[in-house]
Amino acid sequence: MSVPKVERMADIHLDDYRAVVGDQVIDELYQLGEYLTGKRLQHINSTRVGGGVAEILQRMVPLTNELGLEVTWDVIEGNPDFFQVTKSFHNALQGVEMTLSEQAYEAYVKTNRENASQMSLDGDVVLIHDPQPAALIDVIDQRKQKTIWRCHIDIARPNESVWRFLLQYVSRYNAAIFSVPGFARELPLPQFIIPPSIDPLSEKNREVEEREIEEVMNKYGLDTKRPILTQISRFDRFKDPLGVIKAYKMVKRSHNCQLVLAGGGATDDPEGAQVLAEVHEASAGDPDIHVLLLPAYSDREINCLQRGSTVIMQKSTKEGFGLTVSEGLWKGKPVIGGAVGGIPLQVVDGVNGYLVHSSEGAAFRIKYLLSHPEEGKRMGENGREHIKRNFLLTRHIRDYLMVMISVLNPEQELVYLK
Amino acid sequence: MKNNPIKAEIQGSSQPFRFKKSIYLVEVVGQKARNLSEFMRALSIVDRSAIFFHLHQPMLVSPQAQLEYPNDFAYWMAKELGNYILAEKFANLEPFRVQDLEEIRRDMVSQISQQLVHEQDGKSVVLGREFVFCRARSIVLDSGLEASNLKEFRDALKRVDINSVYYHLVESKLRLGRKTNDFAGWLQAIGEDELANEAGMLDPYLTTLEGNRNGLIKLVEARVSGR
């Protein structure tokens, strides 16, 4: 098991990213930081560990602090009932039909008020993540402070009653941030688009030695002399692992390849367990299909599996953003992805991979890449450049600083810095 | 908070060329379209900054790779709406030839109108695949590089951030309304009229931003080496 990430990552500083992204990108951050020197940015979310938001903030907060801003991160507290309500909010905002009781809404407001009374809400800019702490806007002095609501989930088709409730809070912020344009809503405030990012120096993405990649591939019985197709994702129907197996079987008729489907182990999610059972059934009898149930803290192994692969798959039929695509591209691999959610932002069709709409489409593209390895190499190189420019943590930090500058200069479409 | 006025941005006639660059944040502007009719209605009223943004975003996202479609409008028409005729027409828009984005808007609206005569709304995309109109909020930064003569200019061009090439070659002309691109303006100011003319004639939409950088370097190189 890896050493817990927070401890290992604490030794990494902003200047360490120069070797990865170049001096110009880091200098740019310092320029923006200089403009914002002394400003206090306060992040607020609902959990310190677990989940993508906490993972990003663990890295982003210390790195942004190195730029001369005063960046803090607060976490709201709540009892299990509150988090049950906000979990329902989360599902409803993503379109699940449900009706919430008056008591549920009251529990949400009450917990936000309790947190507001115990928390020092003193940032010049307060950046509140997701619906859980959104009602803190009630106690922020908007004459003196700027407020930003950062929504990490797809709320393009929300349950209307839950959205109407939340809107009374969200509409009072100075700005909102969504991950892709399609997730944005009609709101009476500026809405910015900031895609998520991967950290190139994290365990999951940092460079590793060939020897280590070999060890991991050997550990899982993979033959590195034959092509390897890999999809890393939960065993979720929307990730379409069965469609990936179908595509692999079509490819297998002409190419002696292997398939890796790797994701978290069976959970208490009955749907996930069912999908996993179907995956086992579909792969039965083929020793070249490797279904891997990886434990928590397997980032390093995922890194090696991706680097040891020939083609990365993310054949989702519904997707939020799909950061495994960026992970694969960052490792210089061509990616074949479903044309859904944030995948088309990452896969530039024909440039760093292919967008597909069916198992047949995936099979056709895989066969092409396996028959033209030089094309796969070229696409992999393009992919790494695309991620370097658009989907690394340093770009994410830059975008947050730019939103700060925008809310502090709301009327200016163009801002000139010395 | 310090904000330099736009006029301070324009390079003085005999001053060294100071390389700046723009970085941008994407902002949705409130219009979206599911089909051709909605697209035309939105295009007719959307802020011109959104038209500018969608004409140039692919160039900025992929400065090294030549994409199948050069702008977001053409891409959406082909990949989402399956309207290849309009995709090709929009791919062939020539922003370099216009002084005002309103010409592009009129041209696009006219082409869509002609199609709508025959096929009403056309296909509608599924939810989530709409064209969402956006614009850029830009911040202009100093790149830290400057050039006082052609050799320094060539050397700086090789090193400068690609966003600086974009800012001086593309954005300065069409978005900021300058008569020619900044490079050509400076070359003229230092008496390099022929080179200025050649730099001013560079159509940045014919290649990638990196291709443009290389093209400019070649031009200057040829002048410096007397070829």
DSSP string of A352-370? TEEEESSHHHHHHHHHHHH
The residue type found at A3 is V
Asked if A416 and B143 come within 8 Å (Cβ–Cβ), the reply is no
How far CA B102 is from CA of B44, B105, B210, in Å, comes to 10, 5, 28
Asked if B132 and A408 come within 8 Å (Cβ–Cβ), the reply is no
B contacts of A382 (beta carbons < 8 Å): 64-65
B141: distance to nearest CA of chain A, Å?
Answer: 5
Residues in chain A: 418
Phi, psi (deg, nearest 5) at residue A42: -115, 115
DSSP 8-state code for residue B76: I
Question: What DSSP element (H or E) covers B75?
Answer: helix B72-75
Interface residue B85 vs chain A (CB under 8 A): no
Distance CA(B211)–CA(A114), nearest Å, equals: 58
Q: pLDDT value at position B227?
A: 64
Please, what is the angle between helix A299-307 and helix A323-330, to 10°? 60
Checking if the pLDDT of B44 tops 80, the result is: yes
Three-state secondary-structure class, residue A254: coil
Using an 8 Å Cβ cutoff, are A411 and A42 in contact? no
Using an 8 Å Cβ cutoff, are A260 and A309 in contact? yes
Interface residue B82 vs chain A (CB under 8 A): no
Q: pLDDT value at position A168?
A: 96
- Residue A415 forms beta bridges with which residues? B139
A393: tokens are: 């943590």
Q: pLDDT value at position B6?
A: 37
Residues 6 or more apart from A284 whose CB is under 8 A from it?
none
B217: tokens are: 């370097």
B114: distance to nearest CA of chain A, Å?
Answer: 28
A77-85 LR contacts (CB < 8 Å, sep 24+): A77/A111, A77/A115, A77/A118, A78/A46, A78/A111, A78/A115, A78/A132, A79/A111, A81/A107, A82/A107, A82/A108, A82/A111, A83/A46, A83/A132
A contacts of B3 (beta carbons < 8 Å): 409, 412, 415-416
Three-state secondary-structure class, residue B208: coil
Counts for chain B of helices (H) and strands (E), in that order = 12, 2
Asked if B9 and A191 come within 8 Å (Cβ–Cβ), the reply is no
Checking if the pLDDT of B14 tops 80, the result is: no
The residue type found at A197 is S
Lowest mean pLDDT among A400-414, B27-41, B73-87: A400-414
Asked if B62 and A405 come within 8 Å (Cβ–Cβ), the reply is no
> Which chain B residue shows the shortest CA-CA distance from A24?
B161
Interface residue B97 vs chain A (CB under 8 A): no
A contacts of B68 (beta carbons < 8 Å): 349-350
> Which chain B residue shows the shortest CA-CA distance from A37?
B1
Nearest CB to B27; choose among A191, A408, A416: A191
Q: Which residue matches tokens 């993972």?
A: A55
A136: tokens are: 């803190």
Interface residue B9 vs chain A (CB under 8 A): yes
> Which chain B residue shows the shortest CA-CA distance from A417?
B141
Checking if the pLDDT of B104 tops 80, the result is: yes
Which one of A36, A354, A417 makes the best mutation probe of the B interface by having the most chain B beta carbons within 10 Å?
A417
Q: pLDDT value at position A9?
A: 63
Compute CA B151 distance to the chain's CA centroid, rounded to the nearest angstrom: 27
B contacts of A344 (beta carbons < 8 Å): 79
> Which chain A residue shows the shortest CA-CA distance from B162?
A24
pTM of the model: 0.92
Distance CA(A26)–CA(B103), nearest Å, equals: 39
> Which chain B residue shows the shortest CA-CA distance from A175?
B27
B contacts of A31 (beta carbons < 8 Å): 141-142
Three-state secondary-structure class, residue A252: helix
Distance CA(A413)–CA(A228), nearest Å, equals: 48
The residue type found at A351 is V
DSSP 8-state code for residue B84: H
Three-state secondary-structure class, residue B86: helix
Checking if the pLDDT of B183 tops 60, the result is: yes
- Max distance between CA atoms of chain A, in angstroms, equals 67
Residue A232 CB-half CA count within 13 A: 26
Distance CA(A354)–CA(A313), nearest Å, equals: 10
Distance CA(B138)–CA(B97), nearest Å, equals: 24
Checking if the pLDDT of B12 tops 60, the result is: no
Distance CA(A115)–CA(A120), nearest Å, equals: 9
Neighbours of A62 (CB within 10 A): 17
Cβ-Cβ contacts under 8 Å between A and B: the total is 116
Interface residue B137 vs chain A (CB under 8 A): yes
Nearest CB to B139; choose among A192, A340, A402: A402
The pairing of strands A311-314 and A335-338 is parallel
- Max distance between CA atoms of chain B, in angstroms, equals 59
B contacts of A414 (beta carbons < 8 Å): 6, 137-140
B contacts of A95 (beta carbons < 8 Å): none
The mean predicted confidence, pLDDT, of chain B is: 90
What is the pLDDT tens value at each position of chain A, 418 positions in all? 333 344 456 689 999 999 999 999 999 999 999 999 999 999 999 988 877 888 899 999 999 999 999 999 999 999 999 999 998 998 899 888 889 999 999 999 999 999 999 999 999 999 999 999 999 999 998 889 999 999 998 888 899 999 999 999 999 999 999 999 998 988 999 999 999 999 999 999 999 999 999 999 999 999 999 999 999 998 988 899 999 999 999 999 999 999 999 997 545 567 788 999 999 999 999 999 999 999 888 999 999 999 999 999 999 998 888 999 999 999 999 999 999 889 999 999 999 999 999 999 999 999 999 999 999 999 999 999 999 999 999 999 999 999 999 999 887 777 888 6
Residues in chain B: 227
Q: Where are the alpha helices (DSSP H) in A13-101?
A: 18-21, 23-35, 52-65, 80-93
Q: pLDDT value at position A10?
A: 67
Q: Which of B203, B159, B210, B153 is nearest to B183 (CA)?
A: B153
Distance CA(A95)–CA(A157), nearest Å, equals: 5
B220: tokens are: 């200057």
A contacts of B137 (beta carbons < 8 Å): 192, 402, 406, 412-415
A contacts of B5 (beta carbons < 8 Å): 416
B226: distance to nearest CA of chain A, Å?
Answer: 32
Distance CA(B163)–CA(B166), nearest Å, equals: 5
Q: pLDDT value at position A49?
A: 81
B160: distance to nearest CA of chain A, Å?
Answer: 9
Interface residue B80 vs chain A (CB under 8 A): no
Q: pLDDT value at position A417?
A: 82
A178: tokens are: 């969504």
Residues 6 or more apart from B169 whose CB is under 8 A from it?
B181, B182, B183, B202, B204, B212, B216
Phi, psi (deg, nearest 5) at residue B23: -120, 155
- Residue A51: burial class (beta carbons within 10 Å; 0-12, 13-18, 19+): middle
Nearest CB to B137; choose among A31, A386, A413: A413
The predicted-structure confidence for B133-171, as pLDDT tens digits, reads as follows: 999 999 999 999 999 999 999 999 999 999 999 999 999
Distance CA(A142)–CA(B92), nearest Å, equals: 47
Using an 8 Å Cβ cutoff, are A69 and A36 in contact? yes
Q: pLDDT value at position A170?
A: 97
- Rounded average pLDDT over B80-107: 93
The residue type found at A291 is V
- Rounded average pLDDT over B55-75: 94
Which one of B1, B25, B126 makes the best mutation probe of the A interface by having the most chain A beta carbons within 10 Å?
B25
Q: pLDDT value at position A11?
A: 86
> What DSSP letter does each residue of A167-231 carry, written as one string?
HHHHTTSSEEEESSGGG----SS-EEE----B-TTSTTTS---HHHHHHHHHHTT--TTS-EEEE
Phi, psi (deg, nearest 5) at residue B145: -110, 145
For CA atoms A128, A132, A138, A139, give the dihedral sign.
negative
A418: distance to nearest CA of chain B, Å?
Answer: 6
Using an 8 Å Cβ cutoff, are A248 and A259 in contact? yes
Q: pLDDT value at position B1?
A: 40
Using an 8 Å Cβ cutoff, are A416 and A207 in contact? no
Q: Which of A217, A166, A161, A209 is nearest to A187 (CA)?
A: A166
E strand segments, A235-361: 258-264, 289-294, 311-314, 335-338, 353-356
